[in-house]
Amino acid sequence: MAKYNCITLKVKNGELEDFDKLRQPEQNILKNGNVVYIYRGTKSKKIYIGQTKHFIERNKQHYNSKEGKFNAAAFDQVCILISSYFNGSALDDVESQLITYFIADNPKSKVQYDNGEVINRNNGNSVNNYREREKVSLEVILPFWEKELYPNEWVNTPSLAELRTNALVKYSPIKQLTEQQIDLLNEINLNQDKDFVINGDAGTGKTVLLTHLVAMLLKEQPNKRIAVVLQRNWIETAKDIFRVYGMKSSNLTIATSIQLINADDNYDVVIVDESHKLSRKFSKQMVSFNKVYKGRFVNDSNHLECLKKMGSQIVLMYDILQAIRPANMTRIQFNEATKDFEKRYLKTQFRIQAPAGKSYTSDDFVNGIKYLLYKDTGLLEQTNFNPKFDRYVFQDKDMDAYFGYLETEPLKNLIDWIEEDRNFNPEHINRILGGLVEPWKQADGKDSSITHWHEGDIKRRWNSTQENWVYSDEEDAEEQIGSVFAVQGIDLNKVGVLVGNDLQVDTEGRLYGNPENFHNVNGKFSKEDESPENAQEFTLFVLNIYYILMTRGIDGIRLGFWKNDAFKEYMKKTLEII
């Protein structure tokens, strides 16, 4: 039995044609019932999505509006969605999901909605506080899209599964938030004289929080100047998100830290994504990163000190386990620069989805990976690590278990695993990733004939670009092996990770990074900087790289051991894998 109904009516000059021919229950629900509605102009190609408890009255309000935008839009049809599940929270959720999906379905389309109302709907409505949210997604939104909208040519994409991997959906600034995220947004907005560090593990929603924060500030403080500092591999995606959701503003600047500091301007709010990757003044650093220290920044020692001078309020997204180069700010520098900041911690894991019916959770996996990599480093107490994680997440031998590992032929078997999933789930974005254990040159990225990973007859090359790599249109893009620089901050569906021999086990059974097998010149200290302290720092960089790679997958991960059986045995012992 369907859990929804939809009523489609023609619209002419604001009048609903054949309304009086509807059954009485249908007329009643449109007069006085919870509905989500979609107007369409078949010639204008415009769409308007909204929700109301009194559709007939709401239709009159739209067409009597002084703005006149409804008359100008030339809407000639309206589709009204009704369901027994619809209440206040469900209406909000369905409306925001449909807006997000429509925009992702056709980013160039003219999708309209009450921007301010939807983006600022954060007074208590969250993903945590209405029970039927999963049922609404599966029993209402999914069939409505695939059985009603697509067959009747209201949308272009036949399956919602294809859209859910789209960045416009993942990071939408109108997605429902957790209560904790809502509280953080309100706290930041209400305390403009305070600076904030938002700590969070990989996949806890730091970037989603960022897009919502920008949306809220643009709406509630439109005259304030806002700068958003992003990594290069996410800039174009972010610009697309802000553009298609109507968040273009002359007061919004999106840039890398280098670009922003070199522009040397002032802002009311500076928001920094992945602030653990901010650079410091360092000899083995790209020239452009060190050239910013001039003018009023001449005495600064890192990019954060510069950014603090540029913003009246600073908001930093941070993960202590994701710094990956000696040129990144040290933990001591970061703690000193943020000693007066308010510290907050995101706790809910969004990215990783444990399979249905399993006893373990996504948090069990993340805590287990943290224990595997960092148990001897002293860093775990600086994160929200829970030592009571369920080890069965690593011991589950089911073919569809979230975690697994391959004993032999790592490249071949990871390729087979990835390809099999694509056969069942063509919409998935799957990739094989690797530690920095195979040599590579900048010029190699332009030549597809140069390969770096070789096993038997199999030849694969490193990612050809760092910017927007997972959406690259290169012919062999899906076959390339991704580095940490291409995927940091990115979600993937299924992930194969090649753990190389840059991560080794010492005589006391502890992990350490071996620079001889690590092929990124700027990722290790120079000979003159060799010291026990820097050796330990280098080990942390290598551990952080594998932590990042191992926490990219939404639906599953498999490890392959690249010339590194020692780590395989270490993993089995540490996680009690029999």
| Residue 48 CB-half CA count within 13 A | 20
Q: Which of 116-125, 231-240, 430-439, 471-480 has the lowest mean pLDDT?
A: 116-125
pLDDT band at 73 (very low <50, low <70, confident <90, very high): confident
- 3-class DSSP assignment, residue 246: coil
Residue 525 to residue 175: CA distance in whole angstroms: 42
- Give the position of tokens 């928001």: 271
The two beta strands, 311-318 and 196-200, are parallel
Arithmetic mean of pLDDT over the chain: 88
Domain-by-domain residue ranges, the chain?
A: 4-164, 179-346, 362-574
**Cα–Cα distances in angstroms (integers) from residue 123 to residues 174, 422, 527, in the given order:** 13, 40, 56
531 within 8 A of 540, measured Cβ to Cβ:
no
Between helix 532-550 and helix 362-374 the angle, nearest 10°, is 160
Amino acid at 437: V
Assess contact for 97 and 137: CB atoms under 8 A: yes
- Terminal alpha carbon distance of the chain: 46
Distance CA 478, CA 496 (A): 12
Question: Whose CA is closest to 127, among 80, 84, 174, 163?
Answer: 174
Q: With a cut of 50, say whether residue 306 has pLDDT above it.
A: yes
8 A C-beta contact, residue 295 and residue 301: no
Report the relative pairing of strands 511-513 and 503-505 from DSSP bridges: antiparallel
Q: Which distant-in-sequence residues (6+ apart) come within 8 Å of 516 by Cβ? A: none
Percent of the chain at pLDDT > 70 equals 95
**pLDDT tens sequence across 353-377:** 888 889 999 989 999 999 999 999 9
Work out the pLDDT band at 473, boundaries 50, 70, 90: confident
pLDDT digits (tens, 9 = 90+) for 409-442: 999 999 999 999 999 988 888 999 999 999 988 7
Using H for helix, E for strand and C for coil, what is the string for 184-209? HHHHHHHCCCCCEEEEECCCCCHHHH
Residue type, 425: N
**Which residue in the block uniquely carries the two structure tokens 């775990």?**
380
Coil vs helix vs strand at 403: strand
pLDDT at 528: 61
Q: Is 191 left (phi over 0), alpha (psi -120 to 50) or beta?
A: beta
> Does the domain formed by 362-574 have CATH 3.30.70?
no
Residue 304's Cβ-side half-sphere holds a number of Cα atoms within 13 Å equal to 31
Q: Which of 40-44, 152-156, 247-251 has the lowest mean pLDDT?
A: 247-251
Give 225's Cβ-side CA count (13 Å radius): 9
Mean pLDDT of 330-358: 87
Q: Please, are residues 323 and 276 in contact by the beta-carbon 8 Å criterion?
A: yes
pLDDT band at 119 (very low <50, low <70, confident <90, very high): low
CATH number corresponding to 179-346: 3.40.50.300
Using an 8 Å Cβ cutoff, are 351 and 554 in contact?
yes
Domains 179-346 and 362-574 share a fold: yes
Give the sign of the dihedral formed by CA 127, CA 221, CA 223, CA 46: positive
- Among 91, 103, 106, 80, CA closest to 11: 80
| pLDDT at residue 347 in the model | 79
Residue whose C-alpha is closest to residue 525's, from 332, 282, 319: 282
What is the maximal distance between C-alpha atoms in the chain?
85
